[in-house]
Amino acid sequence: MPIYKKSKSSFWWIDIRTSGGERVRRSTGTYDKRQAQEYHDKVKAELWRLDKLGEQPEFSFDQAALKVLRLSEGQKDYKTKIRHIKYWRSCFGGRAISSLTSDEIFNNLPTHRLVKSGKSKAQPLAAATKNRYLATMSRILHIAYDENWLQKIPKLGKFKEADVRIRWITREQAQLLINQFQTEWMRNVCSFALSTGARMSEILSLEWSQVDIGKKLCWVTGDKAKSGKSRPIPLNSDAMSVIWSCLGKNKKWVFVRDTGTHPKEINRKSFNSAVKKLRLGDFHFHDLRHTWASWHVQSGTPLMVLKELGGWETLEMVKKYAHLDASHLEMHANSVTFWSPISKTEAA
């Protein structure tokens, strides 16, 4: 049967035998029978031309982009990939993937984004944002290469990104910030962030099934972690105090509003008001995580340990905090001096 379904709810599949006896079975990626038949006819024609004329079939940018989207399903940045691919299709849709060049890709990079603030205006894209667009394109090209749709991958460079911004506050400032919040749930969420380094999405999605009070642990599951990997979060005394105060307020969610409803994000108006009142300047919720990491480094926590505690994928991501502690260099500082008097031991 040239096209068929494995089940009523599945995509249509094709089943073709080449003149050499090779059997080709693959999903069409569509529920539409007419589209599936067109795909079958196209593949059959390409196989014939390859077999009889030795012609390599041309694959489109759209085919490679669609495959990337299928492979990315379930990933936390899936919506971002959709946005990137939608943009790249507006540039290269319908083109053969093999026809793309490095210069074309760079020349078609987005340069601005619209910002709505009274009147919509365009703002230049940051180097980091451009690099994310390039990363998605690079993924498309590598998938095409793995499928033998490309003989060579166009080399894509990378824009130099600004130094990583690290904003943190002192323990005294943190206490003042927490005391500014009028609602208990905001105090709890921010206190938990400062004591665990967990991200906003990890905190607000935390369920009681992910908490073990006896072991003083909670878990971030892979589907909610930025890295896509599960990790345990040890709970110190401050975090445990927050957990105890949240008990009994909701059967499923750990953090709920004072009304008992589950929030999807923090009360930004309340947070920004507290920051403004304390004159903390450019300080955002995610900076609570930076603050937690900074306190750890200043207290002597090894970077490899901090990497595991915070769920960073690579050590490079943690090295941005390394300058906050130089205790491991102190013992070597006096190895070379020229002004201080030489001790008797050194003279001997």
Contact indicator for 16, 47 with CB cutoff of 8 Å: yes
CA angle 79-84-90, nearest 5°? 130
Contact indicator for 151, 117 with CB cutoff of 8 Å: no
Q: Whose CA is closest to 283, among 202, 123, 174, 209?
A: 174
Contact indicator for 121, 114 with CB cutoff of 8 Å: yes
DSSP structure class, residue 12: E
Q: Which residues contact 302 (CB under 8 A, 6 or more apart)?
A: none
Instruction: Give the span between the Cα atoms of 93 and 41, in whole angstroms.
Output: 21
Give the helix ranges, DSSP H, for the chain.
Answer: 33-53, 61-72, 78-92, 102-107, 127-146, 171-180, 184-196, 200-204, 237-246, 268-277, 287-298, 303-310, 327-330, 344-347
Q: Where in the sequence numbering do the catalytic residues fall?
A: 199, 226, 286, 289, 312, 321
> What's at 77, amino acid-wise?
D
For the chain, how many helices (H) and strands (E)?
14, 8
Handedness of CA 289, 292, 293, 295 (dihedral sign): positive
